Structure 1
Amino acid sequence: MKLYTIGFTKKSAEKFFGLLRKAEVTTLIDVRLNNVSQLSGFAKRDDLKYFLSEICDVQYAHRIDLAPTQPLLDDYKKHGASWTSYEDRFLELMKTRHIENTVPRELLNNAVLLCSEDKAQHCHRRLVAEYMAQQWGDVSIEHLT
């Protein structure tokens, strides 16, 4: 199984959709807690769904169960919690949610996980991908940059 990740910040629409086309993903899974922010530009939910369909023939799915909780996000973004603390708490959240049992494997096959962060290193999309690879054992991960 191949699983990709991508962030939309610091990318033009041309670069973003070009990366998706080149990878030949079939589904974009939006793992953002808030996917309707005006700051999202072309990645705002309804616009993104349209562009994915028209430009790349890619399906769109929003999986809130793969997003952090608002308090967890606020602790990291607004209150200065360390990345290590955020990562530990988010991993525990995924375990509690049993996402390896509730997210269909076929949904993630040849899919891309979307979040806002430019790089995957400090983004929960990487944690989701790595967690699924660890749980399922047959997942290769590629971060589109």
Structure 2
Amino acid sequence: MSRSVITLSAYQTTAERFFTTLVDHKVDLLLDVRLHNTNQLCGFTKQRDLAYFARVIAHCDYLHDVELAPSQELLQPYLHHDIDFDEYASGYRALIEGRGGIAIFDRDAGPHASVAILGTATKKRRSHAEVLAQMVAEATK
């Protein structure tokens, strides 16, 4: 099945820009691969709220899958600048390959034609979501 995959960040965006992106790309699945998505810092992208907003505003399904999230042991050194993005990306790739991540992604994506992978990129920090999107693209070649 041919499907489009984009990445989207939960941070440093407005709700208007976030949901307009989902609508413009005709996303029918918002796949949340954040390890932590329930605290107040998540704002409008807090898990319970986001599931509702995705359905009502963007008319898409929402799924949170921690099997596609980084481990706490990998995430913390990256967030504290103890490792750079290349080391983080390499560790994340190995972790997801070990978990059978492409099969997990395919299971999650199911019949959806357009998937947005939700990660945690900021203006200063890249996200594992881009690594997952790259792995999916490589698997479909």
Aligned twin of 1:126: 130
Q: Match for 1:32: what amino acid?
A: R
TM-score by length of 2: 0.89
**Equivalent of residue 46 in structure 1, options 35, 45, 48:** 48
Report which structure shows greater RCO (CA 8 Å, sep ≥6).
Answer: 1
TM-score by length of 1: 0.86
**Equivalent of residue 101 in structure 1, options 100, 103, 115:** 103
Q: Is the 8 A contact 2:120 2:126 kept in 1?
A: no
Q: Where does structure 1 differ by over 6 angstroms across 4 or more consecutive aligned residues?
A: none
Aligned twin of 2:121: 117
Alpha-carbon displacement from aligned partner over 1:69-127 (angstroms, at most 9, x marks no partner): 001000111252121211111111111111122332526631100012136x8210000
For residues 1-145 of structure 1, the aligned pairs below 5 Å read 1-78=3-80, 80-103=82-105, 104=107, 106=110, 109-118=113-122, 122-137=126-141
Percent identity, aligned pairs only, is 30
Q: Match for 2:117: what amino acid?
A: L
Q: Is the 8 A contact 2:32 2:65 kept in 1?
A: yes
* Runs (5+) with no aligned partner, structure 1: 138-145
Cα–Cα, structure 1 residues 108 and 115, in superposed 2: closer, same or farther, change >3 Å?
A: farther
SS at structure 1 position matched to 2:70: coil
Cα–Cα, structure 1 residues 93 and 107, in superposed 2: closer, same or farther, change >3 Å?
A: farther
* Runs (5+) with no aligned partner, structure 2: none
Q: How many residues align?
A: 137
SS at structure 1 position matched to 2:63: strand
SS at structure 2 position matched to 1:68: coil
Give RMSD over aligned pairs.
1.9
